[in-house]
């Protein structure tokens, strides 16, 4: 049984083919990079995997189950979490409160129990708060737990968004441009952070990123998209020396 498999995904918007015949297989613990120019179809692929878009064609399997077209919240509850290009935090809530939000999918209390703060909800909330504090300590954000999320440095906000995704207890984590806008020091810290959570949480990770130094230094396997089509797959060395990739994404070959 494959841990995660995408078979021949195609996404059409009218006459536009955003992604064509995209396939991917991941094992537990894999770290895969999905790269390509802007508009190559990378985020569209993520949106199909996470149920935000229904593929025109193709199938998605996770832990032996066909999840094609499943609603996003069900996919998330089943063990796939993601982050987005643009950080999506509640800036006026504290870091701790943002982390707690990730645990809400595990609540067994009803809406009315939460509204009237009945005993079962209060007990679950106490447990969520404790778990969120432990999570923040693990990702080294416990020292800012009571600060407003909007006051954090950019790199810390990215870590908090990933921490909130970790709170959903994923087995597969999708990261959409995790180092976008970061300086070299922040990028290096994020690389270390991703490696650490991968090991600590036994995660498979698939990430989209434009920073080639980051991708080549972190990922074990790469898939390159161009205009929605997979033009290359392989390890970082193979991708760096692939003429199609050099032309399409890394830059024109010398003398071209």
C-alpha distances (whole Å) from 87 to each of 154, 176, 202, 212 are 9, 10, 24, 21
The pLDDT value recorded for residue 255 is: 46
Mind giving me the DSSP string for 29-66?
A: T-EEEEE-STTSSHHHHHHHHTTSS--SEEEEEETTEE
Tell me the C-alpha distance between 246 and 105, whole Å: 43
Half-sphere exposure of 198 (CA within 13 A, CB side): 21
**Cα 218 from Cα 220, distance rounded (Å):** 7
Look at residue 252 in the predicted model and tell me its pLDDT.
53
What is the fold, at CATH topology level, of the domain defined by 85-169?
Answer: Rossmann fold (3.40.50)
Plot region of 105 (φ>0 → left; ψ -120 to 50 → alpha; else → beta): alpha
**C-alpha 65: how far from chain center:** 20
Residue 32 CB-density burial (10 A; 0-12 exposed, 13-18 middle, 19+ buried): buried
Residue 248 near residue 36, CB atoms below 8 Å: yes
* b/e burial code for range 238-256 (CB count within 10 A of at least 16 → b): ebeebeebbebbeeeeeee
Q: Distance between alpha carbon 151 and the CA centroid of its chain, in Å?
A: 23
Q: How many CA atoms lie within 13 A of 94 on its CB side?
A: 14
Digitized pLDDT (tens) for each residue of the chain, 256 residues in all: 789 999 999 999 999 999 999 999 999 999 999 999 888 999 999 999 999 999 999 999 999 999 999 999 999 999 999 999 899 999 999 999 999 999 887 777 887 888 878 888 888 889 999 999 999 999 999 999 999 999 999 999 999 999 999 999 999 999 999 999 999 999 999 999 999 999 999 999 999 999 999 999 999 999 999 999 999 999 999 999 999 998 876 565 554 4
Q: Given this model, what pLDDT does residue 110 score? A: 81
Domain ranges within the chain, ordered by starting residue: 85-169
End-to-end CA distance of the chain: 45
Integer Cα distance of 247 and 238 in angstroms: 14
Give the model's pLDDT for residue 121. Answer: 80
Give the pLDDT of residue 175. 98
Residues 6+ apart with CB under 8 A from 125: none
Confidence (pLDDT) at 250: 55
């Amino acid at each position: 049984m494959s841990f995660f498999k995408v078979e021949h995904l195609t996404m059409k918007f009218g006459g536009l083919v955003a992604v064509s015949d995209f396939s991917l297989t991941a094992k537990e613990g894999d770290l895969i990079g999905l790269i390509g120019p802007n508009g190559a179809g990378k985020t569209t692929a993520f949106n199909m995997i996470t149920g935000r878009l229904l593929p025109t064609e193709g199938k998605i399997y996770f832990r032996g189950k066909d999840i094609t077209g499943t609603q996003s919240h069900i996919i998330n509850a089943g063990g796939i979490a993601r982050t987005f290009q643009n950080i999506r935090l509640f800036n006026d809530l504290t870091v701790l409160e943002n982390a707690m939000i990730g645990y809400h999918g595990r609540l067994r209390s009803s809406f009315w129990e939460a509204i009237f703060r009945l005993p079962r909800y209060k007990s679950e909330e106490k447990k969520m708060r404790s778990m969120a504090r432990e999570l923040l300590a693990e990702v080294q954000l416990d020292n800012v737990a009571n600060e407003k999320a909007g006051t954090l440095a950019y790199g810390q906000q990215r870590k908090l968004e990933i921490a909130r995704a970790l709170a959903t207890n994923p087995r597969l984590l999708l990261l959409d441009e995790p180092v976008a806008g970061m300086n070299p020091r922040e990028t290096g810290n994020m690389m270390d952070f991703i490696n650490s959570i991968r090991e600590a949480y036994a995660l498979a990770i698939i990430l989209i990123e434009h920073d080639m130094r980051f991708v080549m230094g972190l990922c074990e396997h790469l898939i390159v998209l161009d205009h929605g089509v997979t033009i290359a797959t392989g390890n970082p060395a193979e991708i760096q020396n692939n003429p199609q990739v050099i032309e399409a994404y890394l830059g024109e070959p010398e003398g071209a």
